[in-house]
């Protein structure tokens, strides 16, 4: 994926964006820079995390998400803080978003295109794999 042929949201032509379930990397970047940023959750495997990751991200591999979801709760055990989930290309993060919603997290979205599209649009020059 490259940023050269992206739409105004930074998505490649024909990307099947799932409104309500996804956020574009450019919109995610803006939300993360806000006064009340969402939790940024990386659900990739350890070996992928070790290659490149986004600063401030919580790392919980998808295979461990169910047993470690409480790490995303606030001090009072609430699950209402917004969460943006990412993986390499966006498939695992969509599954993670659905799982977290089923566990009672109210505001969870997957980052469209994952860290690969982030590197192409929101942070050009970032290492890609």
Encode pLDDT of 54-87 as tens digits.
999 999 999 999 999 999 999 999 999 999 999 9
Distance in angstroms (rounded) separating the CA atoms of residues 62 and 90: 12
Output DSSP code: residue 64. G
CB 111 within 8 A of CB 23: yes
Distance in angstroms (rounded) separating the CA atoms of residues 38 and 20: 15
110 backbone dihedrals φ, ψ, rounded to 5°: -95, 140
Helix axes 25-32, 114-121, angle to 10 degrees: 80
What residues does each domain of the chain span?
22-121
Nearest 5°: CA angle at 68, between 79 and 72?
30
pLDDT score of 2 more than 70: no
Domain 22-121 adopts which CATH fold? Oxidized Rhodanese; domain 1 (3.40.250)
Q: How confident is the model at residue 6 (pLDDT cuts 50, 70, 90)?
A: confident
Distance of CA 37 to the CA centre of its chain: 13
CB 100 within 8 A of CB 39: no
């Amino acid at each position: 994926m490259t940023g050269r042929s992206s739409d105004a949201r930074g998505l490649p032509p024909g990307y099947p964006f799932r409104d309500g379930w996804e956020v574009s990397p450019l919109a995610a970047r803006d939300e993360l820079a806000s006064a009340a940023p969402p939790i940024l959750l990386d659900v990739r495997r350890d070996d992928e995390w070790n290659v490149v990751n986004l600063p401030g991200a919580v790392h919980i591999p998808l295979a461990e998400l169910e047993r470690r979801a409480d790490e995303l709760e606030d001090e009072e055990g609430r699950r209402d803080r917004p969460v943006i989930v990412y993986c390499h290309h966006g498939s695992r993060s969509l599954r993670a978003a659905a799982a977290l919603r089923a566990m009672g997290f109210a505001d969870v979205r997957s980052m469209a295109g994952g860290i690969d599209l982030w590197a192409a649009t929101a942070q050009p020059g970032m290492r890609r794999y």
